[in-house]
Amino acid sequence: MSSSAPLKIGITCYPTVGGSGILAAELGTELLARGHEVHFISYEKPFRLPADHPRVFFHPVTVNTYGLFKYPDYTLPLSVRMAEVARDHRLDILHVHYAVPHATAAILAREMLPPDHPVRIVTTLHGTDTTLLGRDPGYGPAIRHALERSDAITTVSEFLRRETINHLGVRCPIDVIHNFFEPGTPGRSRAEVRRELGVGDEALILHISNLRPVKRIDLLLEAAARIRPTDRFKLLIVAGEDFAPFQADVRRLGLEGRVIVRERINRVEDFLQAADLAMFSSETESFCLAILEAMCFGVPSVSTAVGGIPEVVADGTTGCLVPFGDPDALAAAAGRLVSDPALRQRLGAAGRTRAAELFSAARIVPRYVDLYRRVMDTPPSSGQV
Ligand code: GMT
């Protein structure tokens, strides 16, 4: 295949709010912009995919609800759809984001195709597919099997590559391709957004996440309650899920009036440009896309130094890292930034530069395209390692 011929790529991801789905949708959009053909195969259209893009193909997977099944099955209908789309559109690559169950479905789909159509499979591991499910005896062997039969494996950080080797015992090569983010244009001005949020000249601290247990919202709120001076900040939580379960903590900690919540927001740019700093209390993160999103808007983060976050944040230069599980340390670091606009400005500017140099689409997308071409030039995986 010529090194500039457009590729036909099928992308499967979780379409709901979450970093892996965001990355997959952004990658698809960037590949389209570079002239490749992209087909999304999932149970719903990824939420960050532009609704009106003329060349985005979306192939829904229908999940049955047979009375015999106690639990609906997604893996088999997904694999059948992948095989159909691969055959009908002569796909070169199936690129799956988050191994479970997407990588297994892709391997099955390849088995369903005729031998003269060896679609290549690229599996990108995003985080808990290795760190949580990879350790689960009910999933680990299936994940390892699918990885070893993939034509290429990527992880979004060096940390996740090491975890995958250590916990899954995967012996085939793994490419580290960090996440990227290309900021869209905000729909409203910073002043308008802050006015709508009821924020005056206080520092606006931003937290964006899907609120899963690993994000440790309990510690985030504990830290917020300890930030001094108390009247100099507001905390905006942009929540991918329902925040109601945490409202009792907000009241217990006396944070009413200081915590603002916005739920299920599709485009986060309005809030990123309105923020002064961001705060994250996660127990583990393979990357933390929200930190990168903030960096792109010159917003420094205070975060736990877990997983792949130290690959994203240059501690003391583009943000502040503190040990996990120490709300006092998180509060002290946030308090320093709340009280020091010049420091925020310095770290934010350095973060924006780092994001452009290391984590832009221009830097990262060609690495995926090179990987696709490399696997196209190599015989398909036989699964022997
Ligand atoms: O692995 C997960 O928990 C889900 C996944 C997601 O879809 O939100 O998050 C992971 O992938 C993101 C995108 O690569 C990373 O930014 C997150 O750090 C990572 N989450 C964890 O590792 C807990």
Average pLDDT over residues 301-308: 98
Q: Helix or strand or coil: residue 47?
A: coil
Closest to 101 (Cα-Cα) out of 148, 66, 133: 133
Find the length of the chain. 385
Q: For residue 307, give the H/E element and its range.
A: none
User: Does residue 106 carry a pLDDT above 90?
Assistant: yes
Tell me the best of 12, 287, 312 to mutate to test the pocket of ligand 1, counting ligand atoms within 8 Å of each CB and taking the most: 287
Determine the pLDDT at residue 382.
Answer: 64
Determine the pLDDT at residue 385.
Answer: 45
Average pLDDT over residues 222-243: 96
In one letter, which amino acid is 344? R
Of 132-141, 209-218, 260-269, 303-312, minimum mean pLDDT range:
260-269
210 CA closest ligand 1 atom index: 8
pTM: 0.95
Determine the pLDDT at residue 384.
Answer: 45
State how far the Cα of 379 lies from the Cα of 382, in Å rounded to an integer. 9
* Helices 75-88 & 99-112 angle (0-180, nearest 10): 50
Structure-token pair, residue 279:
């705060």
State whether the beta carbon of 23 lies less than 6 angstroms from ligand 1: yes
Structure-token pair, residue 158:
């060096």
User: Does residue 145 carry a pLDDT above 70?
Assistant: yes
State whether the beta carbon of 303 lies less than 6 angstroms from ligand 1: no
Tell me the best of 13, 128, 214 to mutate to test the pocket of ligand 1, counting ligand atoms within 8 Å of each CB and taking the most: 128
pLDDT digits 0-9 by tens, 54-90: 778 999 999 988 889 988 999 999 999 999 999 999 9
Q: Using pLDDT thresholds of 50, 70 and 90, give the confidence band for residue 383.
A: low
18 CA closest ligand 1 atom index: 8
Tell me the best of 11, 20, 161 to mutate to test the pocket of ligand 1, counting ligand atoms within 8 Å of each CB and taking the most: 20
**For residue 291, which phi and psi values (nearest 5 degrees)?**
-65, -40
Nearest residue (by CA) to ligand 1, atom 17, is 288
Average pLDDT over residues 234-255: 97
State whether the beta carbon of 126 lies less than 6 angstroms from ligand 1: yes
The Å distance, Cα 254 to ligand 1 centre, comes to: 31
Where does residue 104 rank: exposed (0-12), middle (13-18), buried (19+ CB within 10 A)?
A: buried
How much is the mean pLDDT over the chain? 95
Pairing of strands 174-176, 259-263: unpaired
Q: Using pLDDT thresholds of 50, 70 and 90, give the confidence band for residue 107.
A: very high
